[in-house]
Amino acid sequence: MPFGLPFTIQIKTINQKLITMETVTPSPSKKQLERLGVGLFMMTVFTAVWVTIAEFSFISLDHGATAGAFGIVIIFFVINYIKIMQTAKEVGQASAEADGPVEKSRAKWFYIIFAVEGIAILVIKNILVNKGHDDLFVPFFALIVGLHFFPMAFLLKRPFFYVFGAWICLMAALGFYLLQKGEPVYLSTGLIGLGCALATTANGIRLIKMGGVAWVGGM
């Protein structure tokens, strides 16, 4: 047996379990498709935000490669977002279900978590500016964004969010480490932006596969 094969099989098994625990029904309902569409739209926006941070940080040191590569990803996401929402319309209202008490409670806590995240970002930005440490904002921003995925994972029963949040927190930790070592700010913020853009891209692809309407070639 080739060296490393058992580890590879174990990683594939874990990944398959995560996907299985989150996969929607074989024929997604209108509501499921709409939620996947909203999620994909958010990943599109977040990918654009992180890529913008990375590209402005690198100051053309990558010759626009980051913007070009992720620009293709963003276009791909937009095309699939449109496809998912069109499919949701074709499903029709017949399969639409009213939100029950559990769903309403989840929606309430969903917005609460987002509100806390937004307030935390504004507060930390204000503190860092007043203390003269604005260079630490992007790592703190990534840390707050990463941490908010943990309660989201528990609330929405999305195991993948634990991995997603942990990865973004890891990018934040990398940024803090580089700054502490005296590396230039553009390197820290650029790598954080790039790493987080990879995470949102992975999540976007996951949502597209869950939607079942998938790739550009199949449209």
Average pLDDT estimate for 13-19? 45
Rounded distance, CA 159 to CA 212, Å?
20
Instruction: Evaluate whether residue 19 is within a structural domain.
Output: no
Residue 31 in domain = yes
Percentage of residues in the chain with pLDDT exceeding 70? 80
Residue-wise pLDDT for 57-116, tens only, equals 888 777 788 889 999 999 999 999 999 998 888 876 544 455 577 778 888 898 999 999
Predicted confidence at residue 64, as pLDDT, reads 82
The total of structural domains in the chain comes to 1
Residues 25 and 34: their CA atoms lie apart, in Å, by 14
The pLDDT > 90 percentage for the chain reads 58
Distances (CA, A) of 132 to 54, 74, 126, 128, 172: 22, 35, 10, 6, 19
Residue 8's pLDDT is 43
Domain range spanning residue 189?
A: 25-91+106-218
Asked if residues 172 and 142 have their Cβ atoms less than 8 Å apart, the reply is yes
User: What's residue 97's pLDDT?
Assistant: 53
Question: Residue 128 is encoded by which pair of tokens?
Answer: 């860092």
* Phi, psi torsion values for 215, nearest 5 degrees: -65, 160
Q: Would residue 199 count as lying in a domain?
A: yes
Chain position carrying tokens 């499921």 = 32
Angle at 74 between CA 73 and CA 76, to 5 degrees: 65
Tell me if 101 is assigned to some domain. no
Domain assignment present for residue 20? The answer is no
On whether residue 10 sits in a domain, the answer given is: no
pLDDT exceeds cutoff 70 at 164: yes
**The one-letter amino acid at 162:** Y
User: Is residue 165 over pLDDT 60?
Assistant: yes
- Helices and strands in the chain, H and E counts: 7, 0
DSSP-based three-state secondary structure for 59: coil
Tell me if 136 is assigned to some domain.
yes
Q: Residue 13: pLDDT above 60?
A: no
Return the higher-pLDDT residue of 159 and 91.
159
Mean pLDDT in residue range 27-45: 87
Supply the pLDDT for residue 15. 46
> pLDDT tens across 124-138, in order?
999 999 999 999 999
> How far apart, in whole angstroms, are the C-alpha atoms of residue 165 and residue 152?
9
pLDDT score, position 104: 82
Residue 158 lies in a domain: yes
